[in-house]
């Protein structure tokens, strides 16, 4: 799991040649959008923490990075697959090779953004969750 919790880490990832160019582009876009909408002295890490699932990561690693399970709702702990499951994210979008899940944690706007590669080698249950709940474009 790649976790980026401050501006320096996000910049390093955006400039890392070894990182998937599609992921670098998404990170750059979201960081720029967040910074354009806030005061200049606000640290990016006070607005969002970015996480990218890597091959071998599953729901356990996602929970470890975010601090909560994405496949269980907060209200009554119904699990993904239950017809009354209510997800905790604001939205899921599909960007070609990646799903993007946005979670708003505070009234001040702090949140997590989770990027899930849409490819083989990624936890199937996590991919099923994203595919079945993505926001239609």
35-55 pLDDT, tens digit per residue, is 876 666 777 888 899 999 999
**The pTM is what?**
0.91
Cα–Cα distance measured from residue 45 to residue 69, given in angstroms and rounded to the nearest whole number: 21
pLDDT over threshold 70, residue 75: yes
One-letter-per-residue 3-state SS of the chain? CEEECCHHHHHHHHCCCCCCHHHHHHHHHHHHHHHHCCCCCCCHHHCEEEEECCCCCCHHHHHHHHCCCCCECCCCCCECCCCCCCCCCCEEEEECCEEEEEEECCCCCCEEEEEEECCCCCCHHHHHHHHHHCCCC
Cα–Cα distance measured from residue 76 to residue 53, given in angstroms and rounded to the nearest whole number: 26
Confidence at residue 77, expressed as pLDDT on a 0 to 100 scale: 85
- Confidence tier at 136 by pLDDT (50, 70, 90): confident
pLDDT over threshold 70, residue 137: no
Over residues 62-77, mean pLDDT: 90
Q: What is the pLDDT of residues 81-93, one digit of tens each?
A: 888 888 889 999 9
């Amino acid at each position: 799991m790649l976790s980026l919790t401050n501006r320096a880490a996000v910049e390093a990832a955006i400039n890392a040649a070894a990182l998937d160019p599609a992921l670098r582009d998404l990170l750059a876009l979201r960081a720029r959008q967040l910074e354009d909408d806030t005061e200049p002295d606000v640290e990016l890490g006070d607005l969002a923490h970015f996480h990218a699932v890597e091959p071998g990561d599953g729901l356990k690693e996602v929970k470890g990075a975010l601090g909560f399970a994405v496949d269980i709702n907060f209200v009554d702990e119904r699990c993904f697959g239950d017809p009354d499951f209510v997800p905790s994210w604001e939205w899921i979008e599909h960007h070609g090779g990646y799903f993007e899940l946005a979670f708003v944690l505070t009234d001040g706007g702090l949140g997590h953004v989770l990027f899930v590669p849409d490819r083989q080698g990624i936890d199937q249950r996590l991919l099923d969750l994203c595919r079945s709940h993505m926001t239609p474009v």
